[in-house]
A and B are shown apart, each in its own frame.
Chain A
Amino acid sequence: MPFLLKLLPSKPVFAHCDIPCGIYDPHTAQLASQTVLKMVQKMKALPKDDIHSLIRMVSVKEDHAELCKREILILWTDYFKSEHLEKFPDLHELVWKACKLCSDNKRAVDEVKAQELVEAVDKIADIFNETSRL
């Protein structure tokens, strides 16, 4: 009997979930952006011949710039809703610029850009905190 049933064609049925985990926090993005800034500052203070530390710091900086972008995008795509955008109309622009800053910081060693990234992520976190209180 089970063998014959196996021959039956099956239709898809969804054990579905519209909502991802529902847990969001901008803190990871903030930590990542601050790590990028810290790495840039440490690299600049490093003795020229300390290649080993330099390579490690480059690696940490790039990983955290990437992580920061990913965390911002999770908030953007999964957490923020249209009603948040009505209240904060520059949100899309802010997210877009922050993501571009992540890419810039992954590529370059630039303290000004790193500082801009920290500020941009803090602004997104402020909007998050404001909207999550609503």
Chain B
Amino acid sequence: MKPPVSKFKVYGNSMLPTLKPGQEVLTFNWGKVKVGDVVVVKSAKLKVQSEIIKRVQKIIDNKVYLVGDNKTESTDSRHFGPVDQSQITGKVLYYFHDATAAR
């Protein structure tokens, strides 16, 4: 069973300006996601082995369509298609604002 919360450190630019590289977030892993939520996902569709972070643009049936806030610099559902809701680790509940987060 997933823990109720997880903490992640962001790498990459695709969620700028919402999330800066180096910024940390806390996710809530037990709730349902809705359109507009920023979510952490682990999917076999992705080239990267680790989890990714994107925003939910739409939900159709059980499929979630994800897009980065920085659309010109993001690989997301526009490339790999929608992902299963079951592959969502959690949604962002809290953004840590750390002055040392690097751009």
Question: Would you give the 0/1 interface string for B62-78, flagging 1 where the beta carbon is closer than 8 Å to chain A?
Answer: 00000010101111000
Enumerate chain B interface residues (CB-CB to A < 8 A): 5-16, 19, 21, 24-26, 40, 47-48, 50-54, 68, 70, 72-75, 79, 94, 96
A2: min CB distance to chain B, Å: 7
Cβ–Cβ < 8 Å partners of B8 in chain A: 10-13
Tell whether, in the assembled complex, residue A17 and residue B52 are in contact, meaning their CB atoms are under 8 Å apart: no
Give the tally of cross-chain contacts (CB within 8 A): 80
Question: Residue A112 at the B interface, CB < 8 A?
Answer: no
Tell whether, in the assembled complex, residue B7 and residue A17 are in contact, meaning their CB atoms are under 8 Å apart: no
Which of B40, B47, B74 is the one whose CB lies under 8 Å from A13?
B40
A8 CA / B25 CA spacing, docked (Å): 11
6 smallest beta-carbon distances between A and B, as pairs: A13-B8, A15-B15, A15-B12, A10-B7, A15-B14, A18-B75
A15: min CB distance to chain B, Å: 4
Chain A interface residue count, CB cutoff 8 Å, equals: 16
Which of A6, A10, A21 is the one whose CB lies under 8 Å from B72?
A21
Tell whether, in the assembled complex, residue A13 and residue B52 are in contact, meaning their CB atoms are under 8 Å apart: yes
Cβ–Cβ < 8 Å partners of A13 in chain B: 8-11, 25, 40, 50-53
Residue from the set A2, A6, A13, A17 with the largest chain B CB neighbour count within 10 Å: A13
Cβ–Cβ < 8 Å partners of B16 in chain A: 15
Question: Would you give the 0/1 interface string for A11-32, flagging 1 where the beta carbon is closer than 8 Å to chain B?
Answer: 1111111110100000000000
Tell whether, in the assembled complex, residue A15 and residue B19 are in contact, meaning their CB atoms are under 8 Å apart: yes
Which of A9, A15, A18, A19 is the one whose CB lies under 8 Å from B7?
A9
List 29 A-B residue pairs with CB atoms under 8 Å apart, sorted by A's residue number: A5-B26, A5-B94, A6-B96, A8-B5, A8-B7, A10-B8, A11-B6, A11-B8, A11-B50, A11-B51, A12-B8, A12-B11, A13-B53, A14-B11, A14-B12, A14-B53, A15-B10, A15-B11, A15-B12, A15-B15, A15-B19, A15-B21, A15-B53, A15-B68, A16-B14, A16-B48, A16-B74, A17-B74, A18-B79
